[in-house]
Amino acid sequence: MRVLTRKKWLLVISVLIIAVSLFRCSTRRQPVDFTTQVKPILNKNCITCHGGVRQKGGFSLLFREEALGKTKSGKFAVVPGDPDHSEMIRRITLNDPEDRMPYKHDPLSRQDIDILRRWIKEGAHWGEHWAYVPVKDVAVPGPATGLLKNWIKNPVDNFIGQKLEEQQLLPSSPANKETLLRRVSLDIIGMPAPRHIADKFLHDNSEQAYAILVDSLLASPHYGEKWTTMWLDLARYADTKGYERDDSRVIWRYRDWLINSFNHDKPYDKFLIEQLAGDLMPNATDDDYIATAFHRNTMTNDEGGTDNEEFRTAAVLDRVNTTWQALMGTTFGCVQCHSHPYDPFHHEDYYKFMAFFNDSRDEDTEADYPLFRTCNDSVQQQLSALTSWVKQNVSEQKAKETYTFLKTWQPAYNSLTCDSFTNSELTDTKWLAFRNHAISRLRNVDLSQKNLLIYRFLGWPKGGGTWKIHLDNINGPVIASTSFARSKENAGWQYAETALKPADGVHDLVFTYDNPLVTDSLLNAVIFDWFYFTEIFPGSGKPGYAVMKKNFWKLMTADLPTTPVMMDNPSSMHRGTFVFERGNWLVKGDKVTADVPKALNPFPTNAPRNRLGLAIWLTSKQNPLTARTMVNRVWEQVFGNGLAETLEDLGSQGVPPTHPELLDWLSYQFMNDYNWSLKKLIRTIVLSATYRQDSKVTPELLQKDPYNKYYARGARVRLSAEQIRDQALCISGVLCDSMYGPSVYPWQPPGIWLSPWNGAVWRQSKGCQQYRRGLYTYWKRSAAYPSMMTFDGVSREVCTARRIRTNTPLQALTTLNDSVYIDLARQFAKRMQKEAGVDTKQQISEGFAWATNHTIDNRSLQALVKLYETALDQFKADKDKAKKMLGEPGKEVSVETAALAVVANAILNLDEVVTKN
Amino acid sequence: MTQKELNDQRLVREAQQAVLRMHSRRHFIKESAMGLGALALGSFLGSCGRRDSSSMTNITFDPAHPLLPKLPPFPGKAKSVIYLHMAGAPSQLELFDYKPELMKMDGQDCPPSLLEGKRFAFIRGVPKMLGPQAKFSQRGQSGAWISDNMPHLATIADELCFLKAVTTDQFNHAPAQLMVHTGSPRLGRPSLGSWVTYGLGTENQNLPGFVVLTSGGRTPDAGKSVWGSGFLPSVYQGVQCRSEGDPVLFMKDPDGMSRDLRKASIDAINEVNSQEYTTYNDPEILSRISQYEMAYKMQISAPEVMNINDEPEYIHQMYGTKPGQACFANNVLLARRLVEKGVRFVQLFDWGWDSHGSDENLAIDVGFINKCRQSDKCITALILDLKQRGLLDETLVVWGGEFGRTPMQENREGKKMPFKGRDHHTEAFTMWMAGAGIKKGYSYGETDEIGYSTISGKVEPFDIQATILNQLGFDHEKFTYHFQGRPFRLTDTRGKVIEDILA
């Protein structure tokens, strides 16, 4: 019946399509379009030698003004309106291969030459690349035929249908309910639907059943987990700091912030503003600060002997690259060294943009300062009480300052910025250390209205000695002199304060330290972490002063959990930004101020010139890239490929979108009608008829559209590393669905972690914790979780805009043999025995259905039953093997369970199970 | 449908698909500027599963399989590479760069001219000069200076080609190692071995194409990134073979599952997958079927090749191996076995050469000598063994660290160190190569009389990379991959083939 219907369709539609095509052929020739016709020819054949970096013969085709200029030979390569006097046309049509362009390559085709001639004749108009033009409201094309009209569920299908028609393709019939259920669950929540949601859908035969399913999935807390998983690659999230030592970093609160934000469907513009500049928002909340950990996922180099400024700079560059790559689908890294060879970005643009990020407080410190200190309720109450006391008794400004300092220990000077050492040193190139008769310098300290120095340090047990602070130079007046108390052996970091004599303005401070008790001239007696220049706790004489002062000290020294966050320098610590000549950070060129590339939307006039302004610019509806990048990414998550395949590059070197109008329509909807709601965007996509199609393919269709670029069938894509894990946990019935918190350690083979100079060990999580979703797995950059890496997970050292799916025997070996999957096979077998009756065939059939959501066919069932029998025979003959298979040596085990575990292992390896059909 | 019919249908479809993908699959085809059109289909034959004798089936070509063997753009001298990386950076001044003048300065303050404007990892203030802590003699016909620390290697001096004036601009381990192996001090670029596997595929489908072996108890400082695939598809990353547990992760069947039960299980998986194929017709399913077949074969081949027990006694003697233990000598022998089996790139990292003098193991006069003892005999054996098997002509052996060591004694934080040691030194160090069209008994480049700077024949890591690629049949300037809007190459914008050392 279904087949007949399809054939009829085919006939009717073919006739219509032929009619339409005939009509199209008869229309007049259109003028040449620069973007779609000319630019590809230039990019393919010319721009390598005549572009931004190399301008051979003084000729560049990057910008129109360059292309129309006089070349080195004195001739004009392009004379608008006059192809016959355009040197470019002459050179590409020569016969002598020595002179003909492209040099040392095959001549251009007749068609290409014709396009270039016509383009010049028509005035050599320059078109802007599609992705740099603001998104406009696109009219939804009307369905051309009555039959497609019935197929269409929402406007997505109008766009897809139009292209199908052009390609003379027909959509596939809808996927059956079970397949669709599995597909949409994996797409929205990253794992099979919880049973109550699934059952409701399968039993609901109403029109709205599918929409209800989609809404329940979008409302599930697992939704946030799935989309966070995607975001972690972009944010280069990891639980370690990277580089050689790759020590632990506590930053999971950012991951939890993501889960919550997705689950609350925080508007995408707000979602980005908070991550880029939460700290700068008026009345920033704890969450706003935690959001900025997005850009603290850069790496920190703890290797001794490394230059902290070099790696601070590397982190800033990474923030620039990630902002462009992840949020605006643009590869900005090129511009670090020279003007972009293909896209309209200049060398200075990179550094102007970098200036937005270059004033952040972080300086490659071992502690990852600045840190945001999270308070529990009672500490938070004390803090609030203290802050309001200061507000009432001193000033609002002072209250703010106190609050910021107690939450962040900022703004402090990191001791690693000291220089000019005598008998002193940056120990392990991380902290200032004093030996006896030490001298060293801290530069450019603003002492206006400062009369107290609070510092964090490691003391020497015997204490003693005199630390003096001289103003400007070693002979300058002493503004502070202090001695150190005795301290316990291994007391750890301590805090102390010393009074400062008034000294207005900015000064270099020279430190000296002498201690007669220190007899070993090589002993590091005092080690400093940071210096905070401030005023004596304010409000002296007001009621409650003594208690509040004590509380201040208590809160400052409290041992609180921390998260690295973004914070900017106060104006007195402002850091200038310079162009790096050819990208080399040691060779500084012109000084620049913060700005955005001219080629894109202008910087909003009333926005501050800092990260907050930048975030407002980036999420402006006039920004041509932000919405398109995200829509394209969501499409890729759902269909396996972006509408523009190169998620990482929407620029002129990326693959152009297959459906540019659809990309723009969705982007416009996303920003406007949906008010940046991601859930609405996803809902629209998955409710389309396009999405709901069956993914079976016919040989004819495969030949016509091997990569499903036109969507005449549903997407068929291998699951991601995390989905494979999460799904296996669900099928086996052991998923631990607790959310949030520190990362966990599921089973991992021994010997994976062997970083030099780092004794960290993988301690396997206990009980349910080892069955948590993949996104909670502890992520060590230099030795990421091996089974996920095998399935194309990324190490997250830098932002990865797109995972490239591969298919290798090592993946097979992972799901066949990794102890995690063996363990899950055992659990799966036990679940089959427990929940699927006593008949083996029944057990296998049901187990198969849990894994694939559909009934097993006879041949497949036979194959699995045969495997069961083979295994059973072996285990009966050798019970020891059965015990080993079940991991229960020495115990009485059921050979049936062991045989079923072998079948379970096979089911978890089926193509259909690791693939989204 | 029978298995046979299914198979025939599959082959026809694969061939069609292959053609289609050649035209349109962006990741693997378009992005290679040198063009992977030169696909060596024939040589793939030895490996894939079922086939019959009709002419069509000779193209057992799996379009979704990115590792099939490919011909290089021009015929290279080397078919495979064994890269011996002494992680931590061994001292050239105690091995190959003989500096009698330095001995005369031993214990004197370092002249200020050597310190002005220089950055060192740990040296502060004015350090003392440290004379060579080894005896040197000239060896073989070529008269190469080799110290007594490498008595075995000294006997094959005439097989080696020394590069005496190697420099780098990275003075910390991790970035310097990345520089040597990925052409960039930052993370994120593909390693040499990944480039080679990407360009040439693998000869033996039952083994990974790029194998990494580590010893010395630690992975290299830069972590797995030194054998990572960077922006190349992850399938090209190095596969670390381990000396304890599974030789390759997850290679071993679970306890209690016999080989024939595993076979039965893979047969069942593939049978169900075949059924699925008749419904969905997606060629990716066929691809998965063949991956499972390959996985099964790899489970046999990998442990086989990793098991050195079947080597004759004289080979164990020759290499000084210790079966059952994790040690460098075992890895060196494994390298030969792997290359023999068609593995393209074998990367060894031996950790523990960072002779700062901060403890006994890291002392130039104690730990360093032990490291030399552990590696001298087996490396010598490797060269001789490859030679006796006729493999040296097609195997390029490379030896080196990530930088060199200072002619000054280290004084960390301005203090005297408990043992004799040398700090990291970027301006001059020694590497050597052997085999595969490299000159024998030759020395290229020279340093000044104390081994501080280069005088002639200066080369940087890019030049060595260019030369290795050249020996494999690649022009390093044309071997590119398109990423982030531009073509990337291993040697970035630098690198020159060291023509002088080519035979």
Q: Is A586 on the interface with B (CB under 8 A)?
A: no
* Rounded CA separation B164/A484 (Å): 53
Q: Which of residues 77-96 of A touch B (CB under 8 A)?
A: none
Q: What is the pLDDT of residue B24?
A: 30
CB–CB contact B486 A653 (8 Å): yes
Q: What angle do CA A870, A875, A879 make, to 5 degrees?
A: 175
Averaging pLDDT over each range in A18-22, A26-30, A764-768, B313-317, which range is the top one? B313-317
CA distance A500 to chain B (A): 30
Q: State the DSSP string of B28-52.
A: IIITBTT-TT-B--GGGTTT-S---
Q: In chain B, which residues have their Cβ closer than 8 Å to the Cβ of A301?
A: 174
> Environment class of residue A207 by beta-carbon count within 10 Å: exposed (0-12), middle (13-18) or buried (19+)?
exposed
Count how many domains chain B has.
1
% of chain A at pLDDT higher than 70: 95
| Model pLDDT, residue B471 | 95
Q: What is the mean pLDDT of residues A821-843?
A: 96
Q: What share of chain B is helix, strand, coil (3-state, %, to 5)?
A: 40, 20, 45
State the residue for tokens 């050599």. Answer: A124
Chain B touched by A906 (CB under 8 Å): yes
Closest listed residue to residue B20, CA positions, set A702, A698, A466: A702
Please tell me the least confidently modeled range out of B75-84, B242-251, B430-439: B242-251
Which residues of chain A are within 8 Å of residue B413 when distances are taken between CB atoms?
425, 427, 433, 522, 524
> Per-residue pLDDT for B30 more than 70?
no
B122, A304 Cβ separation under 8 angstroms: yes
> How much is the pLDDT for A912?
96
Could you tell me if A912 lies within 8 Å of chain B, comparing CB atoms? yes
Beta bridge pairs of residue A509: A442, A471
Residue of A nearest to B253 (CA): A817
Residue A648 Cα, gap to closest chain B Cα (Å): 7
> How high is the pLDDT of residue A106?
83
Question: Which residues sit opposite A454 in a β-bridge?
Answer: A497, A532
Q: How confident is the model at residue A4 (pLDDT cuts 50, 70, 90)?
A: very low
Mean pLDDT of the region A443-459:
96
Cα–Cα distances in angstroms (integers) from residue A382 to residues A340, A545, A552, A553, A558, in the given order: 53, 14, 9, 12, 12
ipTM topping 0.85 = yes
User: Which of B26, B187, B242 comes nearest A645 by C-beta?
Assistant: B26
Q: Which residues of A touch B218 (CB under 8 A)?
A: 754-756
Residue pLDDT, tens place only, A846-880: 999 999 999 999 999 999 999 999 999 999 999 99
In contact, B148 and B135? CB cutoff 8 Å: yes
Round to whole Å and give the CA distance between A265 and A10.
42
- In this predicted structure, the answer to whether residue B112 has a pLDDT above a threshold of 90 is no
User: From CA B450, how far away is CA B92, in angstroms rounded?
Assistant: 11
Q: Does A781 touch chain B (CB under 8 A)?
A: yes
Residues of A in contact with B275 (CB under 8 A): 857, 859-860, 863
First to last CA, chain B: 58
Q: How far is A645 from chain B (nearest CA, A)?
A: 9
For residues A753 and A762, the answer to whether their CB atoms sit within 8 Å is: yes
- Cα dist. A636→A297, A644, A648, A885 in Å? 24, 9, 12, 40
Please tell me the least confidently modeled range out of A668-677, B240-249, B341-350. Answer: B240-249
The torsion angles phi and psi of B145, rounded to 5 degrees, stand at -80, 120
**Entry field: residues in chain B:** 503
List pLDDT tens digits, range B142-154: 999 999 999 999 9
pLDDT single digits (tens) A553-563: 999 999 999 99
Q: Which residue has the higher pLDDT, B306 or A597?
A: A597
Give the mean pLDDT of A566-576: 94
Report the share of chain A in percent with pLDDT over 90: 69
Asked if residue A456 lies in contact with residue A530, where contact means CB atoms within 8 angstroms, the answer is yes
Closest CA of chain A from B338, distance in Å: 18
Of the spans A157-171, A799-813, B8-22, B223-237, which averages the highest pLDDT?
A157-171
Residue of B nearest to A754 (CA): B218
Q: What is the pLDDT of residue A52?
A: 63
Q: Mean pLDDT throughout B183-197?
A: 87
Tokens of A728: 């296996």
Residue B312 within a domain: yes
DSSP character at residue A889: T
Query: What pLDDT, on a 0 to 100 scale, did the predictor assign at position B308?
Result: 87
**A898: which chain B residues are within 8 Å (Cβ-Cβ)?**
256
B267 phi and psi, to 5 degrees?
A: -60, -45
Weakest-pLDDT range from A610-614, A753-757, B326-330: A753-757
Interface test with A, best of B16, B172, B415, B488 (most A CBs within 10 A): B172
Specify the pLDDT at position B39.
29
Average pLDDT of the residues in B414-441 = 90
Query: pLDDT at position B10, please?
Result: 52
DSSP secondary structure letter of residue B387: H
Residues B84, A51: Cα–Cα separation, whole Å: 41
Residues of A in Cβ contact (< 8 Å) with B246 = 749
Interface of A with B in 837-896 (CB under 8 A): 857, 859-860, 863-864, 866-867, 870-871, 874-875, 880-887
Work out how many CB contacts closer than 8 A connect A with B.
Answer: 267
B2: in domain: no
Q: Is pLDDT at A804 greater than 80 in this prediction?
A: no
| B5 part of a folded domain | no
A144 forms bridges with which residues in the sheet? none
Mark yes or no for CB contact A755/B219 under 8 Å. yes
Does residue A703 belong to the interface with chain B, where contact is any CB pair within 8 Å? yes
C-alpha B268/C-alpha A817 separation (Å) is: 16
Strand-strand pairing, B80-87 and B395-400: parallel
Task: Flag if B416 and A522 touch (Cβ within 8 Å).
Answer: yes
* B285 vs B270: CA distance, rounded Å: 9
Could you give the 3-state DSSP secondary structure of residue B289? helix
Each residue of A895-906: pLDDT tens digit? 999 999 999 999
A651–B485 CB contact, under 8 Å: yes
Mean pLDDT over the full length of chain B: 82
Neighbours of B56 (CB within 10 A): 12
Asked if pLDDT for residue B58 goes beyond 80, the answer is no
pLDDT digits (tens, 9 = 90+) for A461-495: 999 999 999 999 999 999 999 999 998 888 899 99
Q: Determine, yes or no, domain membership for B26.
A: no
Pick from A430-444, A659-673, B107-121, B482-496: least confident: B482-496
Cβ contact B120:B424 at 8 Å? yes
Residue A209, C-beta contacts closer than 8 angstroms, at least 6 positions apart: A201
User: What does the pLDDT average to over B312-330?
Assistant: 89
**Could you tell me whether strands B345-351 and B210-215 are parallel, antiparallel, or unpaired per DSSP bridges?**
parallel
pLDDT, residue A10, reads 52
Q: Report, as an integer, the average pLDDT of A342-364.
A: 91
In a domain, B173, yes or no: yes
Instruction: Give the single-character DSSP code of B396.
Output: E
* Contacts of residue A18, Cβ cutoff 8 Å, sequence gap at least 6: none
| pLDDT attached to residue B120 | 79
Q: Is A902 on the interface with B (CB under 8 A)?
A: yes
Residue of chain A nearest B25, judged by CA positions: A707
- Greater model confidence, A248 or B40: A248
Tokens in use for A528?
Answer: 């400093």
Q: pLDDT value at position A402?
A: 97
Question: How far apart are the C-alpha atoms of B147 and B96, rounded to whole Å?
Answer: 6
What mean pLDDT do residues A589-597 have? 94
**H-state helical runs in B344-424:** 367-388
* Token digits of residue A440: 């060293």
Q: Is the pLDDT of residue B443 over 50?
A: yes
Does residue B360 have a pLDDT over 90?
A: no
pLDDT for A809 equals 83
Among B20, B184, B262, B269, the residue to mutate for chain A (most A Cβ within 10 A): B269
CATH classification of the domain holding B460: 3.40.720.10
Across the interface, whether the CB atoms of A303 and B414 are under 8 A apart is answered no
Sign of CA dihedral A322, A328, A331, A332: negative
How far is Cα A710 from Cα A150, in angstroms, rounded to an integer?
Answer: 19
pLDDT at residue A830 greater than cutoff 50: yes
Q: pLDDT at position A8, please?
A: 56
CA angle in degrees (0–180, nearest 5) for A457-A458-A460: 130
Q: Which of B66, B253, B482 sits opposite A806 (nearest CB)?
A: B66
* Domain presence at residue B18: no
Nearest CA in chain B to A795: B225
B282 contacts in chain A (CB < 8 Å): 695, 697, 716
Q: Could you tell me if A418 and A432 are in contact, meaning their C-beta atoms sit under 8 angstroms apart?
A: yes
User: Which residue in A649, A687, A647, A681 sits closest to A665, CA to CA?
Assistant: A681
Residue B241 is predicted with a pLDDT of 81
What is the SS3 string spanning A238-255? CCECCCCCCCECCCHHHH
- Does B291 reside within a domain? no
Closest A-chain CA to B123: A305
Q: Is B258 in Cβ contact with A874 (below 8 Å)?
A: yes
What's the gap between Cα B31 and its chain centre?
A: 24
User: Is residue B175 domain-resident?
Assistant: yes
Partner-chain contact B245 A750, CB within 8 Å: yes
Q: Distance, in angstroms, between A734 CA and closest chain B CA?
A: 20
Q: What is the pLDDT of residue B146?
A: 95
Residue A507 has pLDDT above 50, yes or no: yes
Kindly state the average pLDDT of the residues B44-69. 37
**What is the band of B483 on the pLDDT scale with cuts at 50, 70, 90?**
low
Query: Residue B31's pLDDT band (boundaries 50, 70, 90)?
Result: very low
For the cut 60, the answer to whether the pLDDT of residue B26 exceeds it is no
- The DSSP symbol for A218 reads H
Name the band, by pLDDT with cuts 50, 70 and 90, for residue A758.
Answer: low
- Whether chain B has a CB inside 8 Å of the CB on A523: the answer is no
**CA–CA separation, B44 vs B60, rounded Å?**
7
pLDDT of A707: 83
Q: What is the pLDDT of residue A162?
A: 93
- Residue A448: what pLDDT? 94
What mean pLDDT, rounded, does chain A reach?
91
Distance CA A372, CA A361 (A): 12
Encode A426-442 in three state secondary structure.
EECCCEEEEEEEEEEEE
Task: Indicate if the pLDDT at residue A13 is higher than 60.
Answer: no
Strand ranges, E, within A632-696: none
| Average pLDDT rounded to a whole number, residues A294-300 | 96
What pLDDT does A303 receive?
A: 83
**Does A807 contact B269 at a Cβ distance shorter than 8 Å?**
no
Give the domain extent around B419. 80-248+300-501
Residue B96 has pLDDT above 80, yes or no: yes
Cβ separation of A522 and B187 shorter than 8 Å? no
